[in-house]
């Protein structure tokens, strides 16, 4: 269920990409808002959270192709990003055996509490906050619990929304991941998917 969302936002969700990875499309694709209600078939095998999310994205891609006649052109290009690995001394997270749904709860602006999270999900979270692609190369399987807090320094008279604070927030997050989780973020050239809207039509009424 999605309420008051644009087509471009739906595309970003369906293809797990950031706004800067998507281009093209008429003006309405980024301004007109829609409500989407969809339900998949019940039952089936027990899957990991990452597998369930992947199935949900595939179904949303099919919905966009059917209702919006969406067609995308995609390609992989090298871009600056980060590689996520485990520190030599090992990670500091707790392995979780509970097969229940994962939880990634944000507390305030610079703090999260995670339960049952796979490394692929953590990599996506870091991708959003670092505004660059993060590739998981930890080799860690399973689901983990952890608490992460990062505190960028804010100078007198400085807005928390300023670009300088945002840059220090990214630096603080990289340090916190290393110190608190035992994981290392190394800047490298990584392959980033980019998409262009080749066709999109307004959907017909239900």
Summarize the confidence of residues 35-50 as an average pLDDT.
81
- Name the band, by pLDDT with cuts 50, 70 and 90, for residue 13: very high
Give the per-residue pLDDT at 88: 95
pTM of the shown model:
0.69
pLDDT in tens, 83-136: 999 999 999 999 998 877 888 998 988 899 999 999 999 998 999 889 889 999
Q: What angle do CA 158, 163, 166 make, to 5 degrees?
A: 90
Cβ contact 62:38 at 8 Å: no
Q: What is the structure's pLDDT at 160?
A: 66
Q: How far apart are CA 116 and CA 98, in angstroms?
A: 7
Mean confidence (pLDDT) of the chain? 90
Q: What would the pLDDT profile of 158-174 be if each residue is shown by its tens digit?
A: 666 677 777 788 999 99
Beta-sheet pairing, 103-106 with 134-136: unpaired
Dihedral of CA 159/163/164/166: which sign? Answer: positive
* pLDDT, mean of residues 65-77: 93
189 pLDDT more than 70: yes
pLDDT higher than 80, residue 29: yes
Dihedral of CA 32/56/130/96: which sign? positive
pLDDT tens figures, 132-157: 899 999 999 999 999 999 987 777 77
- Percentage of residues of the chain with pLDDT beyond 70: 98
Q: What is the DSSP letter of 108?
A: S
């Amino acid at each position: 269920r999605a309420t008051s969302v644009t087509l471009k936002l739906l595309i970003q969700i369906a293809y797990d990409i950031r706004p800067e990875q998507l281009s093209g499309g008429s003006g309405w694709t980024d301004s007109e808002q829609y409500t989407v209600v969809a339900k998949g078939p019940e039952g089936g095998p027990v899957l990991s959270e990452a597998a369930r999310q992947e199935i949900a994205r595939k179904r949303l891609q099919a919905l966009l192709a059917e209702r919006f006649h969406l067609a995308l052109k995609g390609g992989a290009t090298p871009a600056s990003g980060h590689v996520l690995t485990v520190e030599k001394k090992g990670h500091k997270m707790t392995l979780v055996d509970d097969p229940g749904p994962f939880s990634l709860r944000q507390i305030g602006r610079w703090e999260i509490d995670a339960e049952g999270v796979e490394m692929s999900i953590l990599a996506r979270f870091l991708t959003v906050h670092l505004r660059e692609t993060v590739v998981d190369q930890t080799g860690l399987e399973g689901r983990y619990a952890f608490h992460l807090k990062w505190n960028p320094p804010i100078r007198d008279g400085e807005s928390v929304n300023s670009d300088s604070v945002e840059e220090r927030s990214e630096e603080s997050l990289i340090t916190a991941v290393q110190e608190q989780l035992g994981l290392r973020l190394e800047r490298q050239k990584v392959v980033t998917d980019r998409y262009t809207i080749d066709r999109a039509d307004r959907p017909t009424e239900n």
